[in-house]
Amino acid sequence: MPKVLIADDLSQAAVDIFTNRGIDTDIKVGLSKDELIKIIPDYDGLAVRSACKPDADVIAAATRLKVIGRAGIGVDNIDIKAATAKGVVVMNTPFGNAVTTAEHAIAMMFAAARQIPAADQGTQAGKWPKKNFVGVELSYKTLGLIGCGNIGARVAERAKGLTMKVVAYDPFLTEDRAIELGVEKVDLDTLLTRADVITLHTPLTDQTRNILSKEALEKTKKGLILVNCARGGLVDEDAVRELLDNGHLGAAAFDVFVEEPAKENVLFGAPNFIATPHLGAATNEAQENVALQVAEQMSDYLLSGAVTNALNMPSVTADEAPRLKPFIELAEKLGQFAGQISDHGFDDVEIEYEGEVCELNRKPITAAALAGLLRASRGDVNMVSAPAILAESGIHHSESTTEDSPVYDSLIRIRVKVPRTANSEETGWRSIAGTVSAGRPRVVEVKEMPLEGAFSPITLYVNNLDKPGFIGALGEMLGSAGVNIATFHLGRQESGGEAIALIGIDSEPPQEMTEKLDALPHVRYAKVLHF
């Protein structure tokens, strides 16, 4: 039974999702780092909000951990790189708090436009400061969205309801989606010069860090209202303070800061500045939604392998998982085969898909193939860590699709380019292909020679010249070593030419037998493979 540690507050309804689906749960909130490191080896899943911080040390200690689920969108508290290297899926819940965050951005925009917090403070102090607060209308003004994804789109919808003109800068926003939302897609400089209000809705990355620099802010209209309910670090806080002080910015409203908790900040006390303590997702509805969502996602992954909203692995829906499972298993075994016969490593990988498999979600299939391929040389590698490990090694990989498969409904072929050695073949490539038959993976081609056989747990692979008496001699050699043959599959190019044999055996052959086999004059290559 999978076991999950809930390390931040989740609702009872979220806990019930785990338990009702047969997952054992422990609730331990407020653990120190040392306490978390001590107990994390006992768990398959870790559910957090923002207080618990699974860093590299915690993840290194997590020997069983398969998934970290973040109830919310931000994952700054999770070391995703360490999790990926360890093969741990990291999920978030980007949709559960989208409405709440969008509403907070709109509320901050109104508060800044009408200087509501300062007016409230003066009124409650008995000053009745009516003449000090002359605001601006938002209707018919231009709203500039930096980021028009899930949350930004909801802000756009609400701004359109206020009869605002909306322009958006987002490299991933398509023209069709912009038309659907009723926004105008523009470049960043155009947005800066046209917007009366700018609100940010983009993650903090190397590309977006300080996207509103001093130089960028100085391009904006005098009197601009600036709202940031996304991430601290997107805006140069020192520049905002300077532009508020000199009157270039009409107002600014921030829910997020470079350093949080923000007990001190250069912006505090600036004229027409509004601050809230990272409340974007802080509604009862949002907190409940993300808690329920993360419980469902983690349960799906631990029980069925379905992957939703993962940040370091291709998504696989619950509906896709059953159909993908045999192809994922096939791809992993083909990768294991190719990896085990590439004794000197490889520097290029090609994955070819033929037939009906081309219509499936191939990303997890490719990830499984790469995991199998790397496992022979790198040990504990899985679908999560394999693509990152391959990328770090500088090994190129590609994939191609062919809608028609000449023989099989679906076929997957893996080709690896091995370094040239004194005994290497002229082409420098190894090629393995397989299919799924009756729901089980089958190997159907090795080195472009057709054959059909199962992936036996222990398989003796022999590449030899097709000469009379070889099969008999091989059988006698195995018999003399006390090794029973379970299956025997043969393939060849032509009579007397190159041939292959895949022999499923019931036990590991002694090393002296394989060395003797490899030394035979007709044998080009022999190796025991494990699946």
Residue 235: DSSP 8-state = B
Terminus-to-terminus CA distance in the chain, angstroms? 25
Does any domain span residue 309? no
d(CA 80, CA 60): 12
pLDDT of residue 35 exceeding 70: yes
- Give me the pLDDT at residue 379, please: 74
Q: What is the DSSP letter of 249?
A: E
What does the pLDDT read at residue 420? 66
Calculate the average pLDDT of the chain.
91
Widest distance between CA atoms in the chain: 107
| pLDDT above 70: percentage of residues in the chain | 98
Give the 3-state secondary structure of residue 107.
helix
111 shares its domain with 254: yes
**Following CA atoms 421, 339, 389, 78 in sequence, which dihedral angle do they give, to the nearest 10 degrees?**
-160
Q: Could you report the per-residue pLDDT of 397-409, keeping only the tens digit for each? A: 899 999 888 889 9
Same domain, 225 and 148: yes
pLDDT reading at 36 higher than 60: yes
Q: What pLDDT is stored for residue 423 in this prediction?
A: 52
The helix (H) or strand (E) run that includes residue 327 is helix 320-340
| Same domain, yes or no: 72 and 195 | no
Domain closes at, from 275, 295, 330:
275
- Give yes or no: residues 421 and 461 share one domain: no
pLDDT in tens, 189-211: 999 999 999 999 998 888 899 99
pLDDT confidence of residue 365: 93
Which CATH number goes with the domain that contains 113? 3.40.50.720
The tokens for 205 are 């990355």
Rounded to whole angstroms, the Cα distance separating 28 from 9 reads 9
Between 38-42, 198-202, 461-465, the lowest mean confidence (pLDDT) is in 461-465
Shared-domain flag, residues 419 and 474: no
CA 338, CA 351: separation in Å to the nearest integer?
11
Residue 333 CB neighbours (<10 A):
23
Q: How many CA atoms, within 13 angstroms, populate the side-chain half-sphere of residue 412?
A: 33
Q: Do residues 200 and 263 share a domain?
A: yes
Nearest one of 150, 91, 96, 98 to 300, comparing CA atoms: 91
**Is 80 exceeded by the pLDDT of residue 378?**
no
Q: Is residue 228 part of a domain?
A: yes
Quick one: pLDDT at residue 421?
Answer: 56
Residue ending a domain, among 455, 483, 502, is 455
List b or e across 127-147, with b for residues whose CB sees 16 or more CB atoms inside 10 angstroms: eeeeeeeeeeebeebbbbbbb
- 364 within 8 A of 329, measured Cβ to Cβ: no
- For the segment 84-94, what is each residue's pLDDT rounded down to a tens digit? 989 899 999 98
How many other C-beta atoms are found inside a 10 Å radius of the C-beta of residue 248? Answer: 17
Q: Residue 120: pLDDT above 80?
A: yes
Same domain, 362 and 420: yes
pLDDT score, position 193: 97
* pLDDT at residue number 158: 97
Q: What are the C-alpha distances in Å from 296 to residues 71, 96, 304, 460?
A: 11, 12, 12, 43
Burial of 485 (0-12, 13-18, 19+ CB in 10 A): middle
Q: What confidence score (pLDDT) does residue 315 get? A: 81
Helix (H) / strand (E) element for 414: namely strand 410-417
pLDDT tier for residue 478 given thresholds of 50, 70 and 90: confident
Burial of 484 (0-12, 13-18, 19+ CB in 10 A): exposed
Residues 422 and 467 in one domain: no
Q: Are residues 401 and 432 in the same domain?
A: yes
Measured CA to CA, the distance from residue 291 to residue 484 in angstroms comes to: 54
The total of structural domains in the chain comes to 4
Is 133 inside a domain boundary? yes
Give the relative orientation of helices 385-393 and 363-378 as an angle to the nearest 10 degrees: 70
411-449 burial: b if 16+ Cβ within 10 Å, else e: bbbbbbbbeeeeeeeeeebbbbbbbbbeeebbbbbbbeb
Q: Is the pLDDT of residue 50 over 70?
A: yes
**The pTM is what?**
0.66
pLDDT tens across 122-146, in order? 999 999 998 888 999 999 999 999 9
pLDDT at 426: 45
- 58 and 128 together in one domain: no
Rounded (5°) CA angle 368-371-377: 155
* Burial classification of residue 476, based on how many CB atoms lie within 10 Å of its CB (0-12 exposed, 13-18 middle, 19 or more buried): exposed
Q: Which of 201-210, 414-423, 442-451, 513-522 has the lowest mean pLDDT?
A: 414-423
For residue 280, being part of any structural domain is answered with no
Q: What is the pLDDT of residues 321-334, one digit of tens each?
A: 888 989 999 999 99
What is the spatial distance between Cα 246 and Cα 507, in angstroms, rounded to a whole number? 81
Residue 10 lies in a domain: yes
- DSSP assignment letter at 72: S
Residue 372 belongs to domain with CATH number: 3.30.1330.90
Q: Is the pLDDT of residue 43 over 60?
A: yes
Q: Is the peptide bond before 261 cis (omega within 30 degrees of 0)?
A: yes
- 130: DSSP letter: G
Cross-strand pairs, 142 = 165
- Six token digits for residue 74: 């931000």
pLDDT at 353: 96
Catalytic residues: 231, 260, 278
Separation CA 300–CA 302 (nearest Å): 6
Among 329, 512, 318, smallest CA distance to 437 is for 329
Contacts for 423 with CB less than 8 Å, ≥ 6 apart: none
What residues does 415 pair with on adjacent strands? 350, 431
Instruction: Inform me whether the pLDDT recorded for 368 exceeds 70.
Output: yes
* Residue 288: partners with Cβ closer than 8 Å, 6 or more residues away: 11, 13, 14
- Tens of pLDDT, residue by residue over 479-519, are 888 889 999 988 888 787 888 989 999 999 888 888 888 88
- CATH no. for residue 506? 3.30.70.260
Same domain, 124 and 258: yes
Residue 427's domain comprises 314-455
Residue 425 confidence (pLDDT) above 60: no
Neighbours of 105 (CB within 10 A): 27
Q: Are residues 405 and 330 in the same domain?
A: yes
User: In whole angstroms, what is the distance from residue 516 CA to residue 375 CA?
Assistant: 27
